[in-house]
Amino acid sequence: MKKLAFIGALAGAGLIAGMASAATLDDVKAKGFVQCGVSQGLPGFSNQNDAGEWSGIDVAVCRAVAAAIFGDAQATRFTPLSAKERFTALSSGEIDILSRNTTWTMTRDTQLGLNFAGTNYYDGQGMMVPKALGVTSALELSGAAICTNTGTTTELNITDFFRANNMDFSLIAIENSDEVVRAYDSGRCDVFTTDRSGLAAERLKLTAPDDHMVLPEIISKEPLGPVVRQGDDQWFNIVRWSFFAMINAEELGVSSENVDEMKSSDNPNIQRLVGVDGNFGTEMGLTNDWAYNIIKHVGNYGEVYEATVGPNTPLKLERGVNALWSKGGLQYAPPIR
């Protein structure tokens, strides 16, 4: 009898777990916060300050969603996840959003039961060299010794790049990322390659960061973005449009500082964005000031970028491809109308 009950409970648990993807918004509203999966620590993307509070460009996406739903960017809880457990945590319902520098690839999008809601950072593999080497392009690197991490796609990409350009190279692959930096810093290799966002952080560990430069070539596409479970279109839309709202705000010049004045703007695009005109929020299951709350409490995309990874932060990452489409970049959001 007891055994039967136990099996029944197990089956029930399985069933409920299967239906977890139904109305995430209702669940989130009921519990009062957004549970967000982030990295275990990646400078500028999701890292903690001296008091253990999270910040970063990935964290900002979660705060934006929380602000859109609750009008409170702090209504978030963060689950630090390793690369291995991130997708399980999302599909098991442990987290509502995965915003953990996750590259949008076809396999992940089509085979894992997940949906990517956008690209909050266009990353790509880059190369760092000492300025003293006198190189200005990766194509001049024939014969170079290259430091990278073992067994990552980074290793694969750099091999492909050098083979495709018929250049000689020797690869020094090291397991621990701190040791890779130390090897490069001590001159064991001429080139240090990893994702450009990672290069910016690793560069700070060098004894003389200013003596090194990142080459212009980008040899892989790494669009990083927030991920949600497949099958809950309402939640998918909320996450996607919370992010789009930040980009649209930047494009329209609405920032956390002027958003209150912008409420009386004559521009219909701005009126729709800040919720003066139309019912864009309620149609999504939110309130009409959803985007106003995002901009007010989190900021527009440009503000977030400047505060987390931009040129004035220690990471000093230029906007580059992450500039708005109108300024020669790739960040583009469909209009709110």
Partner 1 sequence: MTDRNFAYVRTEEAPRMPPPSDTHGPVHWLKENILSTMNDFSSPAKTVKSVVMMLLTVLSVLSAYAVISGMLTFLVVNGTFSIPEGVSGADACRENGGACWPFIAAKMRLMIYGAYPGEELWRVDVVYVLLAIGIAWVVWEKAPARGLVGALMLTAYPIVAFILLTGGALEGSWGAKGVWAVIGLALFGVGIAADKGVGGEALNAFSGAFKAIGGLLVGIVLVGAIFSIEFGLEPVRTSLWGGLLVTFVVALTGIVASLPLGIVLALGRRSQLPVVRMLSVIFIEFWRGVPLITVLFMSSVMLPFFLPPDTEFDKLLRALIGVALFSSAYMAEVVRGGLQAIGKGQYEGGMSLGLSYWQQMRLIILPQALVLVIPGIVNSFIALFKDTTLVLIIGLFDLLGAVQNQALKDPEWINPTAGTTGYIVVAFMFWVFCFGMSRYSQAMERKLYRGHKR
* Residue 213 binds partner 1, judged by CB under 8 A: no
Residues between 288 and 317 with contacts to partner 1, criterion CB under 8 A = 313-315
Of 57, 81, 65, 12, the residue nearest 317 (C-alpha): 57
Q: Which of 6, 7, 8, 17 forms a contact with partner 1 (CB under 8 A)? A: 17
The partner residues of 81 in beta bridges, in order of sequence, read 39
Contact at 8 Å (CB) between 249 and 144? Answer: no
Could you tell me the CA-to-CA distances from 107 to 181, 207, 312 in Å, in that order?
A: 31, 40, 36
Q: Which is nearer to partner 1, 265 or 322 (CB)?
A: 322
Which residue lies nearer to partner 1 by CB, 42 or 213? 42
Residue 83 sits in the site that holds partner 1 (CB under 8 A): no
Taking alpha carbons only, the member of 195, 170, 174, 196 closest to residue 185 is 174
Query: Which are the contacts of 123, defined by CB distance < 8 A and separation ≥ 6?
Result: 101, 103, 195, 196, 197, 222, 223, 224
Interface residue with partner 1 among 29, 48, 269, 271 (CB under 8 A) is 48
The least CB distance from residue 184 to partner 1, in Å, is 12
Give the distance, in angstroms, between the CA of residue 114 and the centroid of all CA atoms in the same chain: 16
The whole-angstrom separation of Cα 233 and Cα 20 is 13
Side-chain-side CA neighbours of 305 within 13 Å: the count stands at 23
Question: Can residue 29 be called a binding residue for partner 1 (CB under 8 A)?
Answer: no
Binding partner 1 by CB under 8 A: which of 5, 50, 134, 168? 50
CB atoms within 10 A of CB 71: 17
Site string for partner 1, 169-208 (x = CB under 8 A): ---------x------x---------------x--xxxx-
CA distance 44 to 48: 10
Check binding of 81 to partner 1 (CB under 8 A): yes
Asked if 84 and 23 touch (Cβ cutoff 8 Å), the reply is no
For residue 281, how many C-alpha atoms fall within 13 Å in the half-sphere facing its CB?
23
Q: Per CB under 8 A, does 72 bind partner 1?
A: no
Q: How far is the CB of 123 from partner 1 (least distance, A)?
A: 16
Query: In the complex, what is the shortest distance from the CB of residue 13 to partner 1, in angstroms, rounded to a whole number?
Result: 5
**CA-CA distance, 333 to 251, in Å (whole number)?**
9
Q: How far is the CB of 163 from partner 1 (least distance, A)?
A: 33
Between 50 and 261, CB nearer to partner 1: 50
Choices 40-48, 186-194, 220-228, 263-271; region in contact with partner 1 by CB under 8 A: 40-48
Could you tell me the smallest distance in angstroms from the CB atom of residue 235 to partner 1?
13
- Point out which span in 51-59, 235-243, 257-265, 324-332 binds partner 1 (CB under 8 A): 51-59
Which residues of this chain interact with partner 1, rule CB under 8 A?
A: 10, 12-14, 16-17, 20, 27, 40-44, 47-53, 77-82, 84-85, 88-89, 92-94, 178, 185, 201, 204-207, 209, 313-315
